[in-house]
Every structure is written in structure tokens, then in C-alpha cells.
Homo-oligomer: A and B are copies of this chain.
Amino acid sequence: MTKDVQVGIILGSDSDLKTMSKAVEILTKFEVPYFITVGSAHRSPERVIQLVRRAEAENWQIIIAAAGMAAHLAGVIAAHTTKPVIGVPMESSGLGGLDALLSTVQMPGGIPVATMGIGSAGAKNAALFAVEILALSDPALKQKMLDYRREQTESIEKKAVKVEAGD
């Protein structure tokens, strides 16, 4: 599966896997080849740099990084590549993920990280945003995204019918 990877997902810890499975579901649904692995900015910094080199060598298009607490992973990756890096703050402390959010989003001018919301909503949106980028040069993928949006809207409408009916 590591051939033709378009999106790399790097988890700061394997404990982030459950939350980030929401991103995997989206990429699978959109048939976007992805590679998912673990690499801690703090506990395995060389590995993270090697993963970035692999991203360059294998021509990944986008990197999604998920980390909690003092979440440096997305920023460290962004410092080593000019590919778009998407950061997803994990909720892994009593602070509700505020620490991870600020650590991910408040990047200094010069090195951008595209930050998503905390936790599983952010995980899902990270993958959708990656698809939106890829869809810029892939009309078939854009069509899939339009379909996805339409289905999403229809799903709301179905729920609305149920709520209106008092079910």
C-alpha cells in the first residue's frame, strides 16, 4: 500500500490510532492511497525526519500529523518540508485538548500548519481537506467530493424528517 501514496498520516503515539481511524475511513472511501505510521517528534525525532524524507522520495502530496499535549509533531514536520502539512490536535489531558490545539495552531510566521479541530471531528476533516487539495487537479475526485457533500446534506435532511416526526 506504500506505493503511490498520496497522503501520509503520522501519529505521535499509537494511542491516537482510534481517533485517527476517522481519517482513514475517509481516505478509504475516496480511494486515496495513504500510508499510516507512528513517529514521535520527541521520542523518535530522527524517525520523523526520515519519514519526511520518505515523503519527498515517494512523492506523497500531503502529510497529516496527529498529536496531543505539547503537540509539536505537525510543526516539526512542516519545518522540514514544503508539502502541505495538516495538524490534528488530540484530546489527551484534563485540558480538553486546548494544549494540543494551541501547540499546533499558533505557529510562527514562516512555517504554516493547517490545523483542524480537536479529536475525531478534526481527524475526519483532516482527511476531507486533503481530498479537497488533491481534487484541485483531479476532476474525478472533485466529483466524488461533490457527491459526498450531497449525501451528507441528504443525511441531515433524513434526520430532520425523523426529528420533525417526533421519532
Binding site for B on A (CB under 8 A): 11-14, 17, 22, 35-47, 61, 68-70, 72, 75-76, 78-80, 82-84, 86, 91, 93-121, 124-126, 128-129, 132-133, 135-137, 142, 145-146, 149, 152-153, 155-157, 159-160, 162-164
Copies of this chain, count: 8
Q: Which 4 A-B pairs have the closest CB atoms?
A: A94-B96, A114-B114, A112-B125, A112-B129
Kindly list chain B residues whose C-beta atoms are within 8 Å of the C-beta of A17: 163
Kindly list chain B residues whose C-beta atoms are within 8 Å of the C-beta of A86: 114
Shortest CB-to-CB span from A45 to chain B, Å, is 4
Q: Of the candidates B111, B142, B145, which one forms a contact with A42 in the assembled complex, judged by CB atoms under 8 Å apart? A: B111
